[in-house]
Structure 1
Amino acid sequence: MLCINNTFTDAYFNIAAEEYLLKNFSDDIFMVWQNEPSIILGKHQDVWAEVNIDFVRDKHIKVVRRYSGGGAVYHDLGNINVTFIERSNNLDFDKYTNLTLDILSRMGVNAQADKRRGLNIDGLKISGSAQSIHKNRVMYHATLLYSSNLEYLTTSLESHNEQPENNSNIQSKIYVRSVKSPVTNISQHLANPLAIEDLKALILNDFIDNNSENKQYKFTEEDIKAISLLKDAKYATEVWNFNEASHR
């Protein structure tokens, strides 16, 4: 397995990086990464029904539609994201949930998984996940709320908007709606909270140290160029992020 410490924090780039790794690598991959403030939508969601557009524009929060399905989530530098990409011969999404629970347990966090593979502490959500499959490859990714701005999280995901009347792409289709849950930060449940960069390193090293076949991988110049091209052509565009009807 290739273990990637992704130091980029541009949400457009990072969501493009996931698709690039899913479609262009044959190795199993584990990636740890963070985004600057952003809303990450599921592929089949209506942005107007999920996002407080006025608030995110006022606060310069990016809205990015990801390759996988599921609901909308808020990211900032107090949130850690983990991505697993593997061959889908023995498909078992619960495996990834259990791996994440094991990491939290070793930190002293007693979390539980729900039926949607979300993780909770005392009924408060700390992690959501989503999955997608491309040919013989599967991608599972999850958030870990560590020290996020929960006020921004809640406000940015409270939609007060209606889709513009002049939107010519309104169709009679069913969009996936997010399932809202009360949330908490992991750091609030630790006696001695780590700095988030130390936690990120701990998670990555946990994978490298526990399997001799796992090795660290750094994006090459070719990788960065290809991801940037995909970002500019797709993930940084209004068409992709705000106009679900045109998705391909």
Structure 2
Amino acid sequence: MYCIDSRSTDVYFNLAAEEYLLKRKRQDYFMVWQSEPSVVIGKNQSVQTEVNEECALKKGIHLARRFSGGGAVYHDKGNINLTFIETTAQPFFEMYLQRVVDFLETLGISAYADKRLGLYVEGKKISGSAQCIHKDRVMYHCTLLFATDLALLETVLKENSSDAEPIPGLEAVRAVPSVHSAVTNIDCYLDTPIHIMRFIRLLFHYFLTEDEENAIYHFSKDDLSAIQRLRKEKYANEDWIYHRIALKKDLS
């Protein structure tokens, strides 16, 4: 497995990188990344029903849409994102979740999962996840709330009804509502406080050393060129963000 520590905090770049690795590569990858304050909604969701847009605009929070399902999540520099991408004929998403649980256990944190593959500590959510399959390639990605601004998270994410509503501009498509949970930060449960960058280094080293054949991977010039093109033409494109239009430049 190739391990990538993405130092870009551009949410559109990192979402584009995920799709590029899934659809254009054949190797297995693990990527850890962060974003500047952003709300990322699932591919079948509506910005208008999930996001307090007035708050997002006032606070300079980016809006983004990923190409996997699931609910809306808030990212900031106190949140960490993990992405696993592999070639397999039989996806088993619980395996990726268990690997994250095992890592947290090394820090003395006992986390458990629900049926939606979210992670909880003492009844409060610390991680949400989403998955997708492309041919024989699978992707599992999740958040880890380490020291996120939870008050802002609660403000910018709307609490909507459980009824699916039409996506504005695509009335024939029913938007999938998020399922809201009480949330908390991982750093509240550490016996010894550590800085988030130290936590990221421990996390990255844990997955890098899972297998002796794992190796660090850096994006090549060709990789970066393709990712930046996808970023511009899809992920930073308001047509994709607001209306889920299938853009011509989407990767096959």
Same fold (TM over 0.5): yes
Match of 1:185 in 2: 185
Match of 2:107 in 1: 107
Match of 2:173 in 1: 173
- The Cα shift of 1:221 comes to 1.8
- Written as runs of structure 1 = structure 2, the 5 A alignment for 1:94-173 is 94-158=94-158, 169-173=169-173
Q: Kindly provide the CA deviation profile for residues 131-170 of structure 1, in whole angstroms up to 9, marking residues without a partner as x.
A: 001111000000000000001111010269xxxxxx9724
Note the aligned Cα RMSD (angstroms): 1.4
- The Cα shift of 1:128 comes to 0.3
Match of 1:163 in 2: none
User: What is the rounded CA distance, in whole Å, between the counterparts of 2:79 and 2:184 in structure 1?
Assistant: 11
- Contact 1:78–1:148 (8 Å) recurs in 2: yes
**Residues 168 and 211 of structure 1: is their aligned pair in 2 closer, same or farther, counting only changes over 3 Å?**
closer
User: What is the rounded CA distance, in whole Å, between the counterparts of 2:9 and 2:237 in structure 1?
Assistant: 18
Q: Kindly provide the CA deviation profile for residues 8-36 of structure 1, in whole angstroms up to 9, marking residues without a partner as x.
A: 00001111110011011111100111011
Query: Do structure 1's residue 61 and structure 2's residue 61 form an aligned pair?
Result: yes
Q: Kindly provide the CA deviation profile for residues 87-109 of structure 1, in whole angstroms up to 9, marking residues without a partner as x.
A: 12121000001000000001110
Match of 1:164 in 2: none
**Residues 184 and 168 of structure 1: is their aligned pair in 2 closer, same or farther, counting only changes over 3 Å?**
closer
- Written as runs of structure 1 = structure 2, the 5 A alignment for 1:208-247 is 208-244=208-244, 246-247=245-246
User: What is the rounded CA distance, in whole Å, between the counterparts of 1:173 and 1:210 in structure 2?
Assistant: 42
- Contact 2:79–2:143 (8 Å) recurs in 1: yes
SS in 1 for 2:203: helix
User: What is the rounded CA distance, in whole Å, between the counterparts of 2:30 and 2:72 in structure 1?
Assistant: 22
- Contact 1:53–1:159 (8 Å) recurs in 2: no
TM-score normalised by structure 1 residue count? 0.94
SS in 2 for 1:140: strand
Match of 1:45 in 2: 45
Give the AA of the match of 1:177.
Answer: P
Number of aligned residues: 241
**Residues 168 and 10 of structure 1: is their aligned pair in 2 closer, same or farther, counting only changes over 3 Å?**
closer
User: What is the rounded CA distance, in whole Å, between the counterparts of 2:193 and 2:102 in structure 1?
Assistant: 18
- Contact 1:69–1:132 (8 Å) recurs in 2: yes
